[in-house]
Amino acid sequence: MRSRFSWSPGLVLILVLLTGCATQTKALLSAPHAALQRQVELKNTPFIAQERYQCGPAALAMLLRAAGFAVDADALVPQVYLPQRQGSLQVEMLAAARRNGALSMTIPPRLDALLTELAAGNPVLVLQNLSLPIKPMWHYAVAIGYDLDRGDIILRSGLTERMVMPMSTFEHTWGRSGFWGMVTLPPGRLPATAVEAAAVDAVVAFEKSSPPAAARQTYAIAVRRWPDNLALELGLGNTAYAAGDRAAAAQEFQRASELHPDSGAAFNNLAVALLELGQLEDARAAAEKALALGGPWRKAALDTLASIEIAEKSRRP
């Protein structure tokens, strides 16, 4: 017998939603990465219950404290909260973490990346839409663990210190933000899932708002992971230079100029460091090479060469 059932728009919508199932969860639970531990819970992550609309500052404070930074959620409110929007923007979460001394970086937008960071000991701050796209309810929480056998994600969320959420529900709510998650790390450490291009952007942004010594530590570890990257090698030299260590800076610029013989910036910076070390002959050779390479750093090379000439004149009797 045919039913007299009519398709109401609401039911159609529900059915449409149902067909979009939690594919990443299914894949992970049926064939998890061999390298992943079955269960992880970062129990030492502190819990800070949020005030109304202030899940952003509370979640960021938990994340920063777990990374070893003594910050207060109240102090973060003026740094990330937008009164008119009654919430906090993703970009400002990343920027505020840097203001407080941490390297901040988004993770690749995948569930396995999230679990990999947790297994590496890094809690992940996630943006979820707990509701549906038509009536969004944006919420920041801190993922602190998972259980592959039970299929759960463990979160510090809102007023709940230990929220256990089915991984599929988590995937639905997290997926609505485009799987946006961030980690914060102290100087000298990088996220487990960091990819080269994103890491360069994150570390350069970190350099801009940190003491040179802190950024130098992070560059050192990044150069070890991606030894062929020009920006990272120059960053290591530049932060050594900014920290007053001319000899180490010259060494890094030397290495950069050998690995990237077409980089005028590497030769110019090498010339500057050598000039300040009083090695005028080598400085001149490097500056002339920078000038010959021309390109965007021609003007910088000309200025460096002029400074070397002044130094040479003052040295002659």
Partner 1 sequence: MIHPLKKLFVHTTITAFVFVGFTQSVQAAIVSTEQVVTAAAAEQNRAKVAATFERADVQAELQKMGVSTDEARARVAAMSDAEAASVANKIDSLPAGGDGIVGAIVFIFVLLLVTDILGLTKVFPFTRSMHR
Interface of this chain with partner 1, residues 221 to 240, rule: CB under 8 A: 230-231, 234-235, 238
> The tokens 């938990």 sit on which residue?
62
When the beta carbons of 66 and 125 are compared against partner 1, the nearer one is: 125
DSSP 105: E
Q: Which of 27, 49, 132, 195 binds partner 1 (CB under 8 A)?
A: 132
Q: Is 54 in the site for partner 1 (CB under 8 A)?
A: yes
Taking every pair of Cα atoms in the chain, the longest distance, rounded to a whole number of angstroms, is 111
Q: Which of 205, 243, 259, 280 binds partner 1 (CB under 8 A)?
A: 205
Q: Is 12 in the site for partner 1 (CB under 8 A)?
A: no
**Region binding partner 1 by CB under 8 A among candidate stretches 33-41, 114-122, 188-196, 292-300:** 292-300
**Number of residues engaging partner 1 in binding (CB under 8 A):** 87
DSSP 84: G
Q: Is 307 in the site for partner 1 (CB under 8 A)?
A: yes
Q: How many Å apart are CA 225 and CA 222, to the nearest integer?
A: 5
Q: Which of 61, 66, 76, 96 binds partner 1 (CB under 8 A)?
A: 96
Which residues, 73 to 92, sit near partner 1 by CB under 8 A? 78-92
CB-based burial of residue 166 (10 Å sphere; 0-12 exposed, 13-18 middle, 19+ buried)?
Answer: middle
- In the complex, the smallest distance separating the C-beta of residue 314 from partner 1, rounded to whole angstroms, is 10
Beta bridge partners of 151: none
Give the residue among 170, 198, 201, 28 at the shortest CA–CA distance from 113: 28
Q: How many Å apart are CA 84 and CA 86, to the nearest integer?
A: 6
Q: Is 258 in the site for partner 1 (CB under 8 A)?
A: no
